[in-house]
Structure 1
């Protein structure tokens, strides 16, 4: 069931990333057109940058799920099959650990418990925690930056799901290999 959830999540991530890529293309073309006409829209650049950041994190999660990240595999390819499987499982464990660490850091950064305890009063939250995440605004759009930064906790949660599925698959493969050898 977790594997199907991971696959469905990856499909959603790819669709959203593709839509964001189309949006970025449209925004850049709009920016070119408005600048050529002498009336540039300054917010277009900022929106394109935020869309590109979200697109990057969404696609990175899928790339790591598919184990298609850029890698130098010269040493790995030289190893026999069993050590290769162990190294792959270790890489999956490191990715899962990174996702967990990033999710924990995002939890501390957003600090939803303290925000809830402050009654969702941003001023009280800032006064108690000295955390100004919810009050920072983007330069031209004027939107709260925490909406754009939400890509980090979403990425880490998604990567955690994908990393866990990959690690389970790696460990199952190792166990099956050990049974065949025994």
Structure 2
């Protein structure tokens, strides 16, 4: 399972790096061209916007697994240990229900938008909206991988599961 988790994180992080790099490169090139030639890349803003959508949905899972989303923890801290565990279990169930909602309605949204084309690049909006169910699936998967630690002690993942040599080579 640890090998799967490590591979998932590497692929997820790699996709995030590629999306962010592509977005930054497109915007940088567009700004340079606009100021040096008074012309801009016609499709740059549209593509950067859609890359940002994908970046947001693909990045939500790793942020969740490290406890980076906003949380109100005062109630958990005030409760006895067993009640706090039960509350975290309820929170986890609500989160999984929301992730299921994202996947279900995301797929419906993709189906409904499949014939709508983007204004400039003329690609199907289904490719853009596919970020919703993919992000929901990744959120559920990341949550499942950190669920035990979250339920027991409200602990989240760290980079401990990565090979020290691989981290040093980055």
Q: TM-score, normalised by structure 1?
A: 0.72
Q: Secondary structure at the match of 1:42?
A: coil
Q: Which residue of 2 aligns with 1:137?
A: 117
Q: Which residue of 2 aligns with 1:74?
A: 74
Structure showing greater relative contact order (alpha-carbon pairs closer than 8 Å, 6 or more residues apart): 1
Q: How does 1:1-182 map to 2 (within 5 A)?
A: 1=1, 4-36=3-35, 37-111=37-111, 131=112, 133-170=113-150, 173=152
Determine if contact 2:114/2:125 at 8 Å carries over to the other structure. yes
What is the count of residue pairs matched by the alignment? 152
- 1:58 shift after superposition: 1.0
Q: Secondary structure at the match of 1:59?
A: helix
Deviation per CA, 1:30-61: give whole Å up to 9, x if none. 11111112011120111111111111111112
Q: Secondary structure at the match of 2:120?
A: coil
Q: Distance in 1 between matches of 2:141 and 2:148?
A: 11
- 1:24 shift after superposition: 1.6
Determine if contact 1:27/1:48 at 8 Å carries over to the other structure. yes
Determine if contact 1:58/1:155 at 8 Å carries over to the other structure. yes
Q: Distance in 1 between matches of 2:6 and 2:94?
A: 20
Determine if contact 2:102/2:136 at 8 Å carries over to the other structure. yes
Q: Secondary structure at the match of 2:100?
A: helix
Q: CA 1:28–1:162 in structure 2 vs 1: closer, same or farther (change >3 Å)?
A: same
Instruction: Give ranges in structure 1 of 5+ residues lacking alignment.
Output: 112-130, 175-182
- 1:62 shift after superposition: 1.3
Q: Distance in 2 between matches of 1:85 and 1:51?
A: 38
Q: CA 1:86–1:6 in structure 2 vs 1: closer, same or farther (change >3 Å)?
A: farther
Q: Which residue of 2 aligns with 1:127?
A: none
Q: Secondary structure at the match of 2:38?
A: coil
